[in-house]
Every structure is written in structure tokens, then in C-alpha cells.
Amino acid sequence: MKILIIYASKTGTTEKCAKMISTKLKDTTIINIYTQNQDINQYDWILVGTPIRMGMIDRKIKSFLMNNLECLKTKKTAYFICCGFNENWKRYYEQNFPKVLLDSAITYDTFGGEMDIQKQKGIDKWITKIVSKNIKGTKEIKILNENIDEFIKRIAQVSKIEDIE
């Protein structure tokens, strides 16, 4: 079973989550959509990860989904988003992913996020400063390791993988 993990990452959180998946599932290829291309037809599974910025998925991931819609409908797929406001995760999927892809996916989930002002640039840095001041003490923004573990378990169950790390 060959697995492709394709992701976009602006500050490294989605990349970190993609790498966490790849260390637990065997025979994975992991690519950053901004630096590499890959023929998805040669893979049994396609896992797609994207950050959420102001309610929207990464533009290159959106383009990838639309350009590969027919192929993705025939593959085993799973999707993950990284976002700081996890309470909105289902809405983010509904607003950004074609319904047919979500309906045919094995699973999709949120992996949480990180808010590191030092990794931000330009207007994103300014927005992050404002948001972090407004949520300080009310909410912890973090990667949800338990969601990643459950995501991997669902893939392993469908694929009958018994030796996940």
C-alpha cells in the first residue's frame, strides 16, 4: 500500500503534522505542494493537509483538489486541517472542500494549530498579535495529538495495517 501525504504549510504546523503521520504509517511519500509535484495515480492513499487562514484553505491545495477531483473520488482519501479555532473545523470543511470529496473520504479532521508570532510575516504577524491578545487566558491553541493518533488509526483499520508505530 502506497500513501502520498501532500500538504501546504505557511509556518510549519501542517508540515509538522504531516511528518507525524508519515513516521507512523509505512511506505509514505510526503511532499510540500509548493516545492514538489507528484503523480497521484501511483498511490493507493492520498492524504491532504492544509492550514486554515481566515477561514480558507491554502490556495494551492484548493487548486489541487479541483484539478484532481475525478481521481481523488476513486482513491482512498483522508484530509486534515490545521487551525487555531477548532470549534469551527466542520464549517471550514463545508466551506472549502467539495462535498463529493468529503462524502467519499475515509476520514477528515482537525489537528489543531500553533500560534507562533515569530513565524509570521507581514499582515499575518499583525493579525496574530491581535488575535493572541484577545484569546490570552481563554483558550489554549495547540496541536491535537489525540486527533492525529485517531486519524492514523482510522487509516490503519481501513487498510488493515497492524504494525503502525
Q: What is the pLDDT of residues 77-106, one digit of tens each?
A: 999 999 987 888 999 999 999 999 999 999
Average pLDDT over residues 25-50: 94
pLDDT band for 10, please (50, 70, 90 cuts).
confident
The whole-number pLDDT of residue 71 equals 96
The whole-number pLDDT of residue 126 equals 47
Give the amino acid at 36. Answer: Q
Of the chain, the end-to-end C-alpha distance in Å amounts to 16
Task: Give the list of residues 6+ apart from residue 111 with CB closer than 8 angstroms, or none.
Answer: 17, 49, 80, 81, 82, 143, 144, 147, 148, 151
- Does the pLDDT of residue 138 top 50, yes or no? no
- Does the pLDDT of residue 134 top 80, yes or no? no
Q: pLDDT tens digits for 106-117?
A: 999 999 987 655
Q: Structural domains in the chain?
A: 3-159 (3.40.50.360)
Average pLDDT over residues 58-78: 97
